[in-house]
């Protein structure tokens, strides 16, 4: 290709225009701009920040408002355990086997009597085996005294007296099976009671009571617990039927002769302020959200707000400044006084007042963002209006405008075709720098909690966490990355603006 070109150029005569490469004004500006190393550096930062914010948000595996949890171990009082070494009494259905009778029965048992008389009624005592007695009057069973306790395997079933009697009788007589309601039950060596091979109950001297009312202690758990108590272990792990693993710690309390069981259970808590790791490159913030993703979305908000505010400013500024500059006289006078008034209204305090008022009215965060942009734009236009007016005032007097007027071009065409294009270079520079300063204003407001609000992220409200001294001292990753993004972006805008200014007019150096 290049060879081909050279051949062609050689064919042109010396004074042929095509021999000289002619660049359009735009190309000249671009050429000058790209020669400025700082400006190109700034431009590449800007491109990077835009990709980071807009594409990064899509690439990131997480969502702006996605919260993360971590497992945290907490020790909770889980159950209390005692070994039953006292007789317990149970009355047969619809029989009276109350307090005094219980005491009489105990006396009879401890003195080894086979019968006793209470209130002229004779009671016979039957010893079925170790620590199990039953009491009869007139051949009818009225109650039992026992130390081994029958627990149902199913939490929803209540213990039936007859079943308890039958199983305890079998157990104390060391029998391997017993009959109850026409069915055969077997007792294994661990004192489990089985019906057709499934465990329906178990017999144990341990009484374990859960602290929380809605917890049911399973047989397996109790067995583990017994084992731990027998082997004098302080700790054991238990996996329940759901597969949840928990660590348990036993503490013996000699005074009450009981054990308290502490469960250290993994609970899900918000993964706040976790340090940078593989899954969260910049850690997480105070709500357990991924920092890097928040910064990406915050970048979107900050960059978009900067753009929109500057566009609003420019539209108002160009229209009013243009009117004032072109028409002069009383229009100029009026508009410039309005500009003066706006110039004197301090924008930061006004934004603070409005921010606080929006807090008071509980404005929705999204609408709030919109208001923020509108107000910032509305307060920021006087500078641009002054610039445009000044430019137009001086351009209006130049020869090319007289020529335009003389050739009978209409007023709108004169303004938009001949006047405004000459203002655009200055305007672009001011706008570029304006975006930078708008981003700072927005982030300052958000930092103070009066701008963009949670759950939306903005670089300013990410750094807001630093007002917590604890964050300032210990969690650099929460606020420094966002601050660096902010600084770098604004710096890049300023560098590009500077470069554009030099490129548009090499003589115009301010």
Shorter beta-carbon distance to another protein: residue 83 or 352:
352
* 360-399 burial: b if 16+ Cβ within 10 Å, else e: eeebeeeebbeebbebbbebbbbbbbbbbbebbeebbeee
Q: Coil, strand or helix: which one is 244?
A: coil
Minimal distance in Å, beta carbon 488 to another protein? Answer: 8
Angle between helix 291-327 and 365-396 (nearest 10): 40
Beta carbon of residue 353, minimum distance to another protein (angstroms, whole number): 5
Give the footprint of another protein on this chain (CB under 8 A): 38, 337, 340-341, 343-346, 348-350, 352-357, 360-361, 436, 440, 443-444, 447-448, 450, 460, 463, 466, 469, 472-473, 476, 479-480, 483, 486-487, 490-491, 493-495, 498, 509-510
Q: HSE (CB half, 13 Å, CA atoms) of 153?
A: 13
Closest approach of Cβ 289 to another protein, in Å?
A: 20
Quick one: three-class SS letters along 278-308?
CCCCCCECCCCEEHHHHHHHHHHHHHHHHHH
Closest distance between another protein and the C-beta of residue 296, in Å?
A: 18
If the CB atoms of residues 346 and 455 are measured against another protein, the closer one turns out to be 346
Could you tell me if 77 and 260 are in contact, meaning their C-beta atoms sit under 8 angstroms apart? Answer: yes
Are 109 and 145 contacting, i.e. CB atoms less than 8 angstroms apart?
Answer: yes
Q: How far apart are CA 471 and CA 465, in angstroms?
A: 7
Q: How far is the CB of 474 from another protein (least distance, A)?
A: 9
| Minimum separation from the CB atom of position 285 to another protein (A) | 15
Nearer to another protein by C-beta: 145 or 373?
373
β-pair type (183-187, 192-195): antiparallel
Q: What is the DSSP code string of 417-447?
A: IIIHHHHHHHHHHHHHHHHHHHHHHHHHHHH
- Two structure tokens written together for 114: 């086979």
State which residue, 28 or 345, has the beta carbon closest to another protein.
Answer: 345
Nearest CB to another protein, comparing residues 129 and 483: 483
Distance from C-alpha of 60 to C-alpha of 69, rounded to nearest angstrom: 18
Specify whether the CB–CB gap between 172 and 130 falls below 8 A.
Answer: yes
Could you tell me the smallest distance in angstroms from the CB atom of residue 423 to another protein? 20
- Name the residue nearer to another protein (CB basis): 81 or 466: 466
Nearer residue to another protein within complex by CB, 198 or 473: 473
CB of 491 to another protein, least distance (A): 4
Nearer to another protein, 83 or 491 (CB): 491
Q: How many residues does the chain have?
A: 510
């Amino acid at each position: 290709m290049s060879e081909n070109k050279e051949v062609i150029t050689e064919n042109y005569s010396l004074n042929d225009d095509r021999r000289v490469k002619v660049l359009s004004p735009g190309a000249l500006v671009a050429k000058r701009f790209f020669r400025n190393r700082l400006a190109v550096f700034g431009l590449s930062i800007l491109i990077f920040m835009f990709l980071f914010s807009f594409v990064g948000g899509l690439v990131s595996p997480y969502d702006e408002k996605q919260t993360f949890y971590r497992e945290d171990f907490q020790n909770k009082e889980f159950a209390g355990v005692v070994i039953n070494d006292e007789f317990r009494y149970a009355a047969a259905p619809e029989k009276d086997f109350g307090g005094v009778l219980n005491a009489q029965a105990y006396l009879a048992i401890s003195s080894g009597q086979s019968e006793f008389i209470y209130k002229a009624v004779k009671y016979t005592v039957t010893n079925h085996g170790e620590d199990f007695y039953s009491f009869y009057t007139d051949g009818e069973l009225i109650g039992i005294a026992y130390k081994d306790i029958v627990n149902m395997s199913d939490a929803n079933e209540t213990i039936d007296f007859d079943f308890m009697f039958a199983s305890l009788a079998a157990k104390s007589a060391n029998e391997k099976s017993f009959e109850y309601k026409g069915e055969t039950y077997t007792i294994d060596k661990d004192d489990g009671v089985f019906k057709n091979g499934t465990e329906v109950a178990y017999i144990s001297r341990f009484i374990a009571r859960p602290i929380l009312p809605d917890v049911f202690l399973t047989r397996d758990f109790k067995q583990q617990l017994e084992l731990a108590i027998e082997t004098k272990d302080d700790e054991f792990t238990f996996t329940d039927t759901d597969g949840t693993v928990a660590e348990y710690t036993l503490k013996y309390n000699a005074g009450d002769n009981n054990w308290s069981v502490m469960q250290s259970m993994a609970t899900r808590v918000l993964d706040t302020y976790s340090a940078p790791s593989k899954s969260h490159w910049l850690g997480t913030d105070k709500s357990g959200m991924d920092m890097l993703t928040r910064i990406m979305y915050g970048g979107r908000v900050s960059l978009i707000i900067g753009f929109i505010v500057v566009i609003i400013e420019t539209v108002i500024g160009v229209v009013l400044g243009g009117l004032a500059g072109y028409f002069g006289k009383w229009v100029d006078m009026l508009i410039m006084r309005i500009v003066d008034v706006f110039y004197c209204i301090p924008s930061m305090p006004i934004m603070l007042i409005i921010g606080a008022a929006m807090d008071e009215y509980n404005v929705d965060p999204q609408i709030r963002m919109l208001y923020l942009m509108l107000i910032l734009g509305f307060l920021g236009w006087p500078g641009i209006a002054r610039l445009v007016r000044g430019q137009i005032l001086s351009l209006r007097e130049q020869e090319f405008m007289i020529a335009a007027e003389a050739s009978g071009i209409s007023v709108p065409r004169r303004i938009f075709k001949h006047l405004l294009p000459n203002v655009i270079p200055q305007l672009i520079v001011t706008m570029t720098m304006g975006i930078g300063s708008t981003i700072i204003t927005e982030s300052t407001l958000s930092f103070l909690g009066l701008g963009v609000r949670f759950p939306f992220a903005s670089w300013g409200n990410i750094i807001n966490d630093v007002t917590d001294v604890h964050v300032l001292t210990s969690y650099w990753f929460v606020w420094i990355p966002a601050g660096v993004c902010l600084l770098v972006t604004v710096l890049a805008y300023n560098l590009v603006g500077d470069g554009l200014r030099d490129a548009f007019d090499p003589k115009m150096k301010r």
